Amino acid sequence: MSASWIVEHAPPLPWEATSLHDLSVAQFAAALASMESSPGGSTAAALPAALAAGLVAMAARSTVACVPFSDLAFDMDAVVREADELRVELLDLLDEDAAAFDQVMAARRLPQATLEQQWLRSREIQRAYEEAVEPPLCVCHRSLRVLELAADVAERGHRHAAGDADVAVLFASGSLEAAARTAEMYLLPIESEAFRVARREELQTVRTQAGRLRKSARRAMQL
């Protein structure tokens, strides 16, 4: 299979939608498979956590239906509301991440024929990378919260929802790690040591908390 065949048969971009989260699953997958640099892995990292939030809400709703009017049902109703909010926020981050990456690419395309242009370009690249770190960091924090809710549902939810909670744990964990690695990649060109150190410490804290939650969830499901 030649390189020219691969290029010629790349799927077209489905840009009828005004937002990435308005695309169907098939359309979003096609956008990832296209020749365009955006959306890419950084943007896609938010999607599994959004799906995990949906699974958490479904598992919590199932628990409420099985034990209505109980203290547990009251607690799970709160889980449902928060999981639904997290799902929407994570889907919004698809567009925020893609926009931030586009700003990085725009900065790198700035002219550099003169010393002044080179200085301006370097400044804009630094600014763009610092801003690009923020969406994946947000994905990390929201994925961590989804993971926390999934662990809670796995421990206290109805036993028939345990499998869905387990998948939610895996999806949220995958999103968190994918977003963390993206953030680390964006940190590499940033010159400010204080900025890099602070964000790396933030990532380490999130990863440590996620590891504890995964172990807790697996113990709850006796896996």
What percentage of the chain exceeds 90 in pLDDT? 63
Q: Residue 14, preceding bond cis, omega within 30 degrees? A: no
List of residues 6+ apart from 100 with CB closer than 8 A? 128, 131, 132, 134, 135
Distance (Å, rounded) from C-alpha 138 to C-alpha 164? 24
| Residue, of 195 and 214, whose pLDDT is higher | 195
Confidence of residue 5 (pLDDT cuts 50, 70, 90): very low
Structural domain boundaries in the chain: 1-36, 40-220
List of residues 6+ apart from 43 with CB closer than 8 A? 20, 94, 97, 98, 101
Report the pLDDT averaged over residues 30-44. 83
Question: pTM here?
Answer: 0.87
**Residue the block writes with tokens 């725009």:** 106
Report the pLDDT averaged over residues 152-165. 85
Which pLDDT belongs to residue 211? 94
Under DSSP, is residue 223 helix (H, G, I), strand (E, B) or coil? Answer: coil
DSSP-derived letter for residue 39 is S
pLDDT tens digit sequence for 80-98: 999 999 999 999 999 999 9
Q: Which two tokens stand for residue 158?
A: 């109805």
pLDDT tens digit sequence for 164-181: 999 999 999 999 999 999
Q: Considering just the CA atoms, what is the radius of gyration of the chain in Å?
A: 20
Rounded to a whole number, what is the distance in angstroms from the first to the last CA of the chain?
43
| Widest CA span in the chain | 71
What integer best gives the mean pLDDT of the chain? 88
Positive or negative, the Cα torsion across 203, 205, 207, 210?
negative
CATH topology of domain 40-220: Four Helix Bundle (Hemerythrin (Met), subunit A) (1.20.120)
| Residue, of 13 and 118, whose pLDDT is higher | 118
